[in-house]
Amino acid sequence: MANIIVVGAQWGDEGKGKVVDCLTEKANVVARYQGGHNAGHTVVIGNEQFILHLIPSGILHKEKLCVMGNGLVIFPEALIEEIEELRKRKVEVGDNLKVSKNAHMIMPYHAIMDGIKESKKGDKKIGTTGRGIGPAYADKIARSGIRISDLYWPELFKEKITNNLVEINFLLKNLYNEEPLDAVAIYDTYMRYAQALAQHVDDTDVIIDNAIKAGKQILFEGAQGTMLDIDHGTYPYVTSSSACAGGAMTGLGVGPKTIDEVLGVVKAYTTRVGGGPFPTELENNVGELLREKGGEYGATTGRARRCGWLDLVVLRHAVRVNGLTGLIITKLDILDGFDKIDVCVSYKYKGKILNDFPKELPVLEACEPLYEQFDGWTESSSNVQSFAKLPKNARAYLKMIEEKLGVPIVIISTGKTRDDIIYLKDFQTTR
Ligand code: IMP
């Protein structure tokens, strides 16, 4: 298989977990490049369902190497729990999981700060998962972050927590009226984490480089999605990492020439969880129907996802900022049975037609989506395993997406399990 980046093309929850699981069969290494335990990737194998938050879903395949890159922020307790849960369910997690020494850690104060800051935002709440993601990335950029490798330098680690707590405890006490945190208690807890994770911590950039030199194929797994990217998303209603394809380079320490394909995962309609603008949102019974049929409830927080029609302005943006070479369409079957299907082709702002996603929040918030309407289909597209067997109007819907975006559809997912998939390209290695 070629070296492929898989990235969410909308606001996350496009079904990347299942797709990555299927593509892993053809890869040797699966490497995740950003985010933390805010993500939730659902994979169904036979009658079993796995929800992974941190570990790449490639772990569910034997003999594949899974890498968690330097671009992640890792709450060690969540990672250890995930490892233990997988082991309980007889999934091997040993030398097949490597964690970057340079990944930053989520510290107890990050989740506290996340909660406090969010609670002060009134009606401008981002709807964070409250996992401490934003504050951990903020510390990384402010150069006061604590990395996984620091766990193995106890004196240095203690000094870093103690220094960070000077400011944190001042804020907690004086600004937020909260109890201060104890450096020794945090130190002791994290030393236990250090032991539990030691086997996995490594120089992941070197591991990936060696794998590439040995002709191995790498699958780069993104979490969240393009519109939640810190630079290219609907800022400030975004997550705090580089969810776009560029994040794979910095988040794992590989060069752009390593990549053969950038595949955007596109849900056949649109969802978003949390606050922020969403032009094609349907706050009516159609949105409700999409939510119920699609089981649109968060894998991490259980929150109901906001639902709406497919938005080609969003997807045009995703094609551009990721350099998408192929599209993966998921959850097509959720549109089965709709008489008519609307697709947003552009926005209208103060009488002007916008084809490109606007950068300014006030413009975006005032945009009206302009729709084209397509005929739906009554036949089931669920579990269909060849393009020719899809309902005629479903094929027309897919062709329309390809034509309007100028990017080929390379995979169609038609259900939850590994068999419910149509490959339109074989991804043989080009190297
Ligand atoms: P945070 O990443 O927890 O700071 O949350 C920031 C925004 O990103 C919120 O709107 C979350 O709902 C959203 N978000 C974070 N992770 C995911 C995800 O995996 N899927 C969908 N939305 C997410």
How far apart, in Å, do the first and last CA atoms of the chain sit? Answer: 9
Give the rounded percent of residues in the chain with a pLDDT score beyond 90: 90
- Cα distance between residue 365 and residue 279, in whole Å: 7
Helices 392-405 and 312-322: crossing angle in degrees, nearest 10, is 50
- For 21-63, the pLDDT digits (tens) are 999 998 999 999 999 999 988 888 888 999 999 999 889 998 8
Tell me if residue 317 is catalytic: no
Q: What's the rounded mean pLDDT across residues 160-166?
A: 98
C-alpha pair distances (Å), 60 with each of 4, 90, 382: 19, 10, 24
Q: Binning pLDDT at 50, 70 and 90, where does residue 431 land?
A: low
On the question of a common fold for 4-98+203-423 and 104-200, the answer reads no
pLDDT of residue 426: 85
In the chain, count H helices and then E strands.
12, 20
- 125, 224, 227: which to mutate for ligand 1, most atoms within 8 A of CB? 224
- Cα distance between residue 263 and residue 327, in whole Å: 6
**Helix (H) / strand (E) containing 318:** helix 312-322
pLDDT of residue 301: 81
How many angstroms separate the alpha carbon of residue 384 from the centre of ligand 1?
Answer: 31
How many angstroms separate the alpha carbon of residue 67 from the centre of ligand 1?
Answer: 22
How many angstroms separate the alpha carbon of residue 224 from the centre of ligand 1?
Answer: 7
- For 105-140, the pLDDT digits (tens) are 999 999 999 999 999 998 899 999 999 999 999 999
Atom of ligand 1 nearest to the CA of 114: 4
Does residue 430 surpass a pLDDT of 60? no
Q: What type of residue sits at position 381?
A: S
Domain limits of the chain? 4-98+203-423, 104-200
Q: Binning pLDDT at 50, 70 and 90, where does residue 429 land?
A: low
Tell me if residue 232 is catalytic: no
For ligand 1, which residues put their CB under 6 angstroms from it? 12-13, 38-40, 126-129, 131, 133-134, 223-224, 228, 239-240, 273-275
Does residue 78 surpass a pLDDT of 70? yes
- For 321-354, the pLDDT digits (tens) are 999 999 999 999 999 999 999 999 999 999 999 9
104-200 has CATH 1.10.300.10 classification = yes
Characterise 428 by phi-psi region: left (phi > 0), alpha (psi -120 to 50), beta (else).
beta
Q: How many CB atoms lie within 10 A of CB 178?
A: 16
Residues 4-98+203-423: name the CATH superfamily: Adenylosuccinate Synthetase, subunit A, domain 1 (3.40.440.10)
How many angstroms separate the alpha carbon of residue 128 from the centre of ligand 1?
Answer: 6
> Quick check: 99 and 201 in contact, CB under 8 A?
yes
